[in-house]
Structure 1
Amino acid sequence: MRTTEHAVIIAGGGPAGMMLAAELALARVDVAVVERRPDHVLVGSRAGGLHARSIELLDQRGVVDRFLAVGQVAQAAMLATTVLDMSDFPTRHPYSLGIWQNEIERIMSAWVAELPVQVYYGSEVTGLTQDDAGVDVELSGGGTLRAQYLVGCDGGRSVVRKAAGIAFPGWEATMSNLIAEVQTTEPPELGVRHDATGVHGLGRLEYEIVDGEVVYKDEGPVRVMLTEQQIGSGEATLDDLKDGLKRVYGTDFGIHSPTWISRFTDATRQAASYRAGRVLLAGDAAHVHYPAGGQGLSLGVGDAVNLGWKLAQVVRGTAPDSLLDTYHDERHPVGARALQHTMAQAALQKRDDRMRSLVDLVSELARMDEPRRRVAGIVSGLDIHYDLGEGHPLLGRRMPDLDLVTADGGAVRVFELLHGARPVVLNLGEPGRLDVAPWSDRVQLVDATYAGEWELPVLGVVAAPAAVVIRPDGHVAWVEDGDGGGAGLPEALTTWFGPPTPV
């Protein structure tokens, strides 16, 4: 049987895999997704929520309204018992979005279906062999695909990661939780409880946020989450869930007819490298952690947007293969910090007498303005700073979504300029003074003005630049202070988008 070839194959069609597929398709790269499910219908709600930076990333691609139409806007980030209100952050989206993973995947799959992406449903990657020119991808059922690059987005038990020989060091589990969607015959005690074991909660799948408070619908499935007294193993059962409810609440509320039941732990691991030759990792294949703070899904989306444009340029031959090394260099520290934060959050969920003292102290600190901004910046992803060298505070940070006036008098938002996932040279000085002609096949030049202050989350107001280079992921790769005549611009464009094309 003849092997089918693609430029890039993605193992796994979850949020990270679909976001990466969309990024590559927007960059006109032949991409295929291998997804074990027969379609993109996810049974049950699973994870829920997107943080502010992920919402911005979707805004950068022009699809955020699809998610906002379904989700619930809320101040949901917490540290100990304190809600980290970020409504004063300088962003169009200073909030979290409550939206279940099955809805996220439904919307993403509809978006990907509009793009030139091939999805191999009902199949799994079972092995790989890579050489200097590409990767042979073995599929369940005996088929084989060939790609220049393979990206493992196939979860915490990633077959791709293991087959590529990438180590997955970290910390073993210290606790486990049961989570499920069920029906009840008795009215459930809705809300959250903490005890010496950990956190427990019951809530309806259908809810609204009213004046910052969760208001549940009167009917429908109930979502249950329990911390187990001892670390569990194996498949979770309905009897496990009933026993846990009786221990915590004194009743099991007559639970029955589960849509799904699962068990997860606070085991925390991160891939030693996000790349092994022509194999790369993103999402849970690269990092697993306790879901406190709701950063997991958003972390994977961030991986995909960082990797997508880099991989596209390498595949298309406009940038060297070494550009892919910057993916690990930039995203591994972001993942490591998220893991550190979730481990701290997990510890703060236990409320014995000694831990309650720490929780009270941390909660008091989190109500202070400076700690609130710092921690909210971490949880929201808005303070991510890639180390791109010394210079202006904007360098390596996400570009603010400014309201610009272009040289011809038109109005445009910065994020609108990124809808096509192309880099932007934004000139805020004299129109026509910057020359990007040798990169015009890859980079768009925009002459514009901006009248307001430049403000970044956590950092505050920064000096207004004369020009910036905005990467497709929305991060700033070059800043010109004052009218420097574009000094350093050719070097920055070559570094990130490849050598110039003769004009």
Structure 2
Amino acid sequence: MGDVVIVGGGPTGLWLAAELRLAGAGVTVLERRTERDTHSKGFTVHPRTMELWASRGVDELFVPRGTRVPSSHFGLLDTRMDYGALDTPFPYVLLLAQPAVEELTEGYARDLGVTVRRGHAFTGLTQAADGVVVRAEGPDGPYSLETGFVVGCDGVGSAVRAAAGIGFPGTASTAYTWIADVILDDPPPVAYFQATNEAGQVLVVPMGAGVHRVGGIDGDAGADAALPGEKEIRARLVSVTGTDFGLRDVVWVSGTGTASHLADRYRDGRVLLAGDAAHRLFPAGGMGLNVGLQDAGNLGWKLGATVRGWAPGGLLDTYHQERHPVGAATLLLTRGQTALMTAFTPESLALRAVLNDAVGQVPQFSHHLARQVSGIGVSYGRGPGDHPLVGTRAPDLRLSDGTGLFGLLVPGGYVLLDFAGPASAVAGGTAAPPGLTVRQDRPVESRADWRPVRAALIRPDGHVAWASETDGDTLRSAAATALAAAVGGPGLP
């Protein structure tokens, strides 16, 4: 019996598969498409996603393929959030089309030993206490797989979610957005162009190979608007910008409504959901792609620890407990942007003007929005008495030899940072989770919230599990307790 079957071979499913392989689990991915879709709506990668790539040493596989833009938008406001002030090695958004992300991730996952079955459609499952039987249809007909766990990464129409009986409440569409890949003879001279007026909204982004992505929302379009043709796209560009940028060919066109949904639970026994199967988000700034990959980053090490038998009791339940609130918060962010992006009355345009001014004139406001949209600000909370850093995402702390924290992270193990000096022996004689990395050092960069920290335990996904500002026996005792809490026994939590 295999350890995990993942249904859906998009970026979320493939990244999760790679995380599980690195954690020591056996993985099979079922993907109903025989070939990768060369067109995709997503093209924006945020800093937290690039940090996940860096924590596995593959950021250089992805980042050079994209275009770096040192700012991002909130609701396509004219004044953009400054990403340069974020505490990250990646203070920008990366314009990289989702097909490229998928291609690179699939190659990475296959190199790690992930089995990817293209042209194999999930048709059903039967769940028992000790495993799951997955039913599928392949080129040679129907068959079954026995596995320990199933993860649905199969999009907003998730068949896995339906088979598990997991609800998907949400809101219906109230407006319709369109996008098209086109050839422009006179494109805007900037990497990310946007404009808004009473006629609607337009954005233009270079996608490479001479192709530009244009898109927008029309002021008079309803929730079920038809896809525009070349003539309509030209007219929409002209009505908002005064020019059609020399548009002469439409390569591909698509659209979507503004409906949004959130699964009522991310786990049902041995069945879990990630990515668009767990949340349908309005496509405002690539949130769906990024949140999906970050779901996989949270779930991968937890499910890997579970199937390898060292997870503490209840660890897998924390996937829902941590990521469902993130899904809800992201829905709030995208619904707020939907309101800004889909109404063009004088009152709505006035609100945009007020917020444009706030983003430009109040750096703290821009920084707050940037942290939320970029994923840098995601925190999983802490218990009573925990250090304030617990639950937060740890920055790439630079150590004395030039190594950054991200370079120490692996999906199968924690990192214990011992900043108390050689005499402290924080980890000495304590039980430890498998794959623990202990590093005695001090950060060479000063951060106010990390300056008093004497030791910290970092989870495989880069979030802080424990931190302390004490010394001596008190510190050693607290470290032993934190390490023991990270170790469990076999069985299904």
User: Quick check: TM above 0.5?
Assistant: yes
Q: Counterparts of 1:341 and 1:462 in 2: how far apart (Å)?
A: 29
Q: Which moved more, 1:320-329 or 1:55-64?
A: 320-329
The unaligned stretches of length 5 or more in structure 2 are none
Q: Counterparts of 1:295 and 1:247 in 2: how far apart (Å)?
A: 25
Q: Counterparts of 2:28 and 2:435 in 1: how far apart (Å)?
A: 23
Which amino acid in the other structure matches residue 193 of structure 1? A
Of the candidates 356, 376, 382, which is equivalent to residue 376 of structure 2?
382
Of the candidates 245, 258, 279, which is equivalent to residue 271 of structure 2?
279
CA RMSD of aligned residues (A): 2.5
Of the candidates 187, 193, 204, which is equivalent to residue 195 of structure 2?
193
SS in 2 for 1:323: coil
Q: Which moved more, 1:480-489 or 1:55-64?
A: 480-489
8 Å contact from structure 1 (residues 32, 119) kept in 2:
yes
SS in 1 for 2:82: coil
8 Å contact from structure 1 (residues 242, 252) kept in 2:
no
CA positional deviation for 1:245: 4.0
CA positional deviation for 1:261: 2.5
Which amino acid in the other structure matches residue 379 of structure 1? V
Instruction: Trace 1:262-277 onto structure 2 (pairs within 5 A).
Output: 262-277=254-269
Instruction: Trace 1:142-181 onto structure 2 (pairs within 5 A).
Output: 142-181=142-181
Deviation per residue, 1:427-460 (Å, 9 max, x gap): 11133342365325342222222243225xxxxx
8 Å contact from structure 2 (residues 14, 109) kept in 1:
yes
Which amino acid in the other structure matches residue 300 of structure 1? G
8 Å contact from structure 2 (residues 29, 115) kept in 1:
yes
8 Å contact from structure 1 (residues 399, 475) kept in 2:
yes
Identity of aligned residues (%): 37
CA positional deviation for 1:487: 2.7
The unaligned stretches of length 5 or more in structure 1 are 207-218, 456-460
8 Å contact from structure 2 (residues 431, 480) kept in 1:
no
1:369 to 2:335 alignment = no
Instruction: Trace 1:334-345 onto structure 2 (pairs within 5 A).
Output: 334-345=326-337
SS in 2 for 1:128: strand
Q: Which moved more, 1:435-444 or 1:110-119?
A: 435-444
Alignment TM-score, normalising by the size of structure 2: 0.89
8 Å contact from structure 2 (residues 297, 461) kept in 1:
yes
Deviation per residue, 1:312-359 (Å, 9 max, x gap): 111111125621110111111111111111111121123321101111
Instruction: Trace 1:68-107 onto structure 2 (pairs within 5 A).
Output: 68-79=63-74, 80-107=77-104
Which amino acid in the other structure matches residue 293 of structure 2? V
Instruction: Trace 1:451-466 onto structure 2 (pairs within 5 A).
Output: 451-455=444-448, 461-466=449-454
Q: Counterparts of 1:493 and 1:347 in 2: how far apart (Å)?
A: 46
SS in 2 for 1:82: coil
CA positional deviation for 1:263: 1.8
Aligned residues: 471
Aligned to 2:213: 223
Which amino acid in the other structure matches residue 393 of structure 2? R
Instruction: Trace 1:17-416 onto structure 2 (pairs within 5 A).
Output: 17-39=13-35, 41-79=36-74, 80-140=77-137, 141-183=141-183, 191-196=193-198, 198-206=200-208, 220-228=210-218, 229-231=220-222, 233=224, 239=229, 242-243=231-232, 245-246=234-235, 249=238, 258-320=250-312, 322-349=314-341, 350-367=343-360, 368-390=362-384, 391-405=386-400, 410-416=401-407
SS in 1 for 2:148: strand
Which amino acid in the other structure matches residue 249 of structure 1? V
8 Å contact from structure 2 (residues 24, 412) kept in 1:
no
Rate the CA distance shift 1:347–1:495 in 2: closer, same or farther, 3 A.
Answer: same
CA positional deviation for 1:35: 1.1
Rate the CA distance shift 1:164–1:257 in 2: closer, same or farther, 3 A.
Answer: farther
Aligned to 1:213: none
Deviation per residue, 1:169-197 (Å, 9 max, x gap): 1111110112222457x757884332346
Q: Counterparts of 2:479 and 2:313 in 1: how far apart (Å)?
A: 21
CA positional deviation for 1:144: 1.5
Q: Which moved more, 1:307-316 or 1:93-102?
A: 93-102
Q: Which moved more, 1:19-28 or 1:416-425?
A: 416-425
Rate the CA distance shift 1:401–1:254 in 2: closer, same or farther, 3 A.
Answer: closer
CA positional deviation for 1:90: 2.1
1:481 to 2:466 alignment = no
Aligned to 1:215: none
Which amino acid in the other structure matches residue 358 of structure 2? L
Q: Which moved more, 1:312-321 or 1:365-374?
A: 312-321
CA positional deviation for 1:227: 2.1
8 Å contact from structure 2 (residues 281, 287) kept in 1:
no
Rate the CA distance shift 1:82–1:255 in 2: closer, same or farther, 3 A.
Answer: closer
CA positional deviation for 1:76: 3.2
Which amino acid in the other structure matches residue 235 of structure 2? K
8 Å contact from structure 2 (residues 180, 251) kept in 1:
yes
Alignment TM-score, normalising by the size of structure 1: 0.87
SS in 2 for 1:143: strand
Deviation per residue, 1:257-302 (Å, 9 max, x gap): 7543322111111111111111111011111111113221110111
8 Å contact from structure 1 (residues 61, 421) kept in 2:
no
Rate the CA distance shift 1:258–1:356 in 2: closer, same or farther, 3 A.
Answer: closer
8 Å contact from structure 1 (residues 157, 285) kept in 2:
yes
Rate the CA distance shift 1:192–1:403 in 2: closer, same or farther, 3 A.
Answer: closer
Which amino acid in the other structure matches residue 51 of structure 1? H
Q: Counterparts of 1:133 and 1:499 in 2: how far apart (Å)?
A: 16
